[in-house]
Each structure stands twice: as C-alpha cells, then as structure tokens.
Copies of this chain bind each other. A is one copy, B any other.
Amino acid sequence: MKILLAVVSMAIASYSFGQAEDSVQIRRIADEILTNSKAYDNLRHLTKQIGGRLAGSPGMVKAEKWAAVKMKEAGADITWLQQCQVPHWVRGGRDEAKVSYSNKGNITPKALDVVALGNSIGTGPKGTRGEVLLVESFDDLETKKNLIKGKIVFYNYKFNPTYVNTFLAYRDAGQYRGQGPSRAAKYGAVAVIVRSMSHSADNNPHTGATRYDSLYAKIPAVAVGLRDADWLSETLKKGKVNVQIRTNGHFLPDTIGHNIIGELKGTQFPDEIITIGGHLDSWDNCEGAHDDGAGCVQTMEVLRAFKAVGYQPKRTIRFVLFANEENGLKGGNKYADEAKAKNEKHLFAIESDAGGFTPRSLGFTVSDEQFEKVLRWKELIAPYGASEFVKGGGGADIGSLNKLLGTPMGSLNPDSQRYFDIHHARNDVFEAVNKRELELGAVNMAAIVYLIDKYGL
C-alpha cells in the first residue's frame, strides 16, 4: 500500500512538474509572439503589396514567391514548393446589375451593388435581361417553379442573426450560393441574384464559389449587397422589376500553383508529422486579410516563435500555406495525395481559416480517447483565449488529409461575430485585422502544436 501511494504521488508530482514546465514554455512562446511578432507586418505586405490572389492570378504567383522567402526567414530547416494543378477562373471585368422599376409611374433606373459568384459563367458583353422573381427559400422556389422560365431568380434568404456562432448561419444560407443557380436553371431561369451571405450593416456584396449541376444549364449568378437586397425585395412587393446583368466570368486553362511548405525536422520522431496551416489564395475582389492571410501569417509566426525561443520539436512540424482553397481545394488534395503516396505518418493537422479574430476555442476531430487527452491541456491554453476545447474542427485544406489518411485534425476557432461582415467582400482588408487578435491566434496554435509535439496524441 505504501509503495502504491508512493507511485501515485510520484505520478502526480511528475504530472504537476510537467504542467508547470509546459506553462512556462507556453508563456515564453506567448511573450515572444506578443512582443516580437512579424505576423502583422507580414499581413500588411501580403494584403497591401500583393492583394487578391485567386488561383491562377498574377497575385497567386507573387504571393507564392514572397511566402517561400518569408517561410525561410521564419526559420524553416527546409522549405519547398509542392506543385499542383489549379483552376483558373477570372472575373473578366466589372460586374453590373442595372434595375429598371416603376417609381410613381416613371420607369426609373438603379444600379445594384453586385459581384459575380466565383466559378460562374459570364453573361457575355450584351448581358442578360429579365424580370426578377423574388424567392425566399428553396421551398418557395418549388412553389413558384412554373413562374420561373425566362426570369431572373432573386434568392433573398436571410442570414439568420439568432445563431450566436455565425458559421451556423453561413452553413444555413450558403446553400443558396452553392446550389441556387442550378436549382433555378432547372426551371428555366436565365440568371440568379443571391442575397449576400452576411449580416453586415453595409452594402458590400460577398462572392464565393458556386457549383453548377451538370444536369442543367449554367446560368450567370451574382451576389447582391444587403441594403440593395432589402430594397429589391421591397420594390418587388410593389410591382415588376427588370434587371440587366452583365458579368464576364470564365475559365482559362488550368495552371500551376503551389503549396508553400516549411519544415522543422523532429529530433526524436522525425517520421511523425504535425501540420499547421492556412491557405494562401484569396478571392480576387478583396485583400484576403482575414480569409486567409491571417492563417498564413499565423502559421509562419508559430514557426518563427519556435525558433526564437529555441524550441526543438520532437516530431516533424510542417508549416503549410495551401493553394486554391477558395475554388478547387487542389492544394489540400495534393498535400494529402502525396502524403499517402509517400506513406507518411501524419499525427495531427490544424488549420486557421476562420479569420484573424480573438481566439475563443480549439476544435478537434479526434477519437474520444484523444479528446480526453487534449482536454487535460485546456487550462494551459485557456489563459491565451481558447478557453474552450470542443469536439469537431478542422479545415477545408487539411480535410483531405483527414479523409484520405484518417489524420486527426483541429481548428483555431476565433470569435465569429465580425467574420461575415467581411468574408469574400471588398472590405476584407488589412485594416479589418487587429494586431493583437491576430497574434493571439498564433499563440493558441503554437501552444497546442507544442503540446501535441511533446506528448503525442
């Protein structure tokens, strides 16, 4: 009995000692980031000097070159570019939607603030003209299916403000952007206008990828700003509205993009890989500051901070800026394919792709047993913002790794209130990012990577 007690108390002592040591190490990393971070300056360069960087664009090429240099500067043992074939959609010009409506008996013109949906086809130079049919939901679409032929369907589905986690509202409303064009085309619509996936107080339209169903005609599709959506909806209640839409979207031949990868080689288990990343591409109509410049500069900041405090990981840590998240996922797929082909052992992957806002939680798609294990670290990370550890989490780019190899994955979950004010819209700019919130995201990512590196999963 005495021996058993001694063993137990030794175990407790060693656990406590470990926790204290980890607490000190995480504090050291946090202080380094909060005092000497390069994340904010890097983000300024990426957004202001390079700007939008959709797959295939000149911005993509510039961003890749810059990132490879910065990854090396941040202290990677080795840095490489992982080549992949990416789609090359171009907007092709200015998106327009001109309304004419009856205003006290006079036909009055008005321009709506619109942006073509990513991957959508253009109208051609003459544009597409039609009467607007207001549709509040897919159910509403079905009830109106006989009225749709030759019309422009306007999906005015609201972004639900009562979800405190705004990503739930996005998932709910996002189907109208993804499926809306084809579901309207099925009944003969000539074009689609979608209410922007946002609850912002401004009128900026929000783009994002649509997905055509090959069964139906591909029709032009734009997103409209919220004030104009409200105006259009009100005006349609009073009478007919015609819209002339002109967009110019089209695909050029696929081209070559790259994941930018930096690596710290593990000292004890070099074959076990932990991946941390964000995606380097962004939509073309913004600076891609929160989406996902933030995730990229945080990823490189974790690397820089590990080197700055002299942390030598036991396992191999890969810092990855993925290509083509927005309209193809070719970078993430390539990374997973190559991992599988090389029979790599991936222990864990984590992504930051929900904006550079103040951290609130870490999400984990892991086994119950693994979740129990990470939960023990919560008190070590909570002081830096991620005060909750939740089940579920990951990212679009690392999702391929999870699917193909079953790699456990996680996500940094920052506060979501401001994300859909700027997501895929022209106001996703450097100025919308707060330096400390951005840095704290890096701190929380660094902490969980440090712990998983040290203790495994």
Q: Which residues of A contact B (CB under 8 A)?
A: 30-31, 34-35, 40, 161-162, 164, 166, 199, 201, 358, 383-385, 387-388, 415, 417-418, 421, 434-437, 440
Contacts and interface: CB of A to CB of B under 8 A. Distances in A.
Given A162-B34, A162-B35, A199 B415 contact: no
Nearest to A418: B434
Nearest to A200: B435
Nearest to A384: B164
B164 A385 contact: yes
Contacts of A418: 434, 436-437
A389 to B, nearest CB: 12
Nearest to A199: B436
Contacts of A166: 436
Nearest to A41: B201
A435 B388 CA distance: 24
Contact of A421 (B161, B387, B415, B434): B434
Contacts of A415: 358, 415
A31 B162 contact: yes
A336 B434 CA distance: 38
B161 A436 contact: yes
A319 to B, nearest CB: 24
A384 B421 CA distance: 19
A417 B358 contact: yes
A21 B377 CA distance: 34
A199 B34 CA distance: 11
A387 B384 contact: no
Interface hub of A40, A199, A435, A437 (most chain B Cβ within 10 A): A435
Nearest to A36: B161
Contacts of A388: 387
A164 B434 contact: no
The 9 closest A-B CB pairs, nearest first, are A417-B436, A34-B161, A31-B162, A358-B415, A417-B437, A34-B162, A418-B434, A358-B417, A201-B435
Nearest to A27: B162
A173 to B, nearest CB: 15
Contacts of A384: 164
A317 to B, nearest CB: 24
Interface hub of A40, A162, A199, A436 (most chain B Cβ within 10 A): A436
Given A358-B415, A415-B358, A434-B418, A201 B40 contact: yes
Given A358-B417, A415-B358, A383 B164 contact: yes
Contacts of A385: 164
Contacts of A31: 162
A440 B164 contact: yes
Contact of A162 (B30, B164, B358): B30
Nearest to A361: B387
A199 B437 CA distance: 12
A436 B199 CA distance: 9
Nearest to A37: B161
A429 to B, nearest CB: 13
5 contacts: A30-B162, A161-B436, A199-B435, A358-B417, A415-B415
Interface hub of A358, A418, A421, A440 (most chain B Cβ within 10 A): A358
A417 B439 CA distance: 10
Contact of A358 (B199, B201, B358, B387): B358
Nearest to A443: B164
A434 B218 CA distance: 38
A421 B437 CA distance: 12
A358 B31 CA distance: 24
Nearest to A437: B417
A31 B435 CA distance: 32
Nearest to A420: B436
A37 B356 CA distance: 27
Contact of A161 (B35, B162, B417, B437): B35
A384 to B, nearest CB: 6
Contacts of A434: 417-418, 421
A172 B212 CA distance: 58
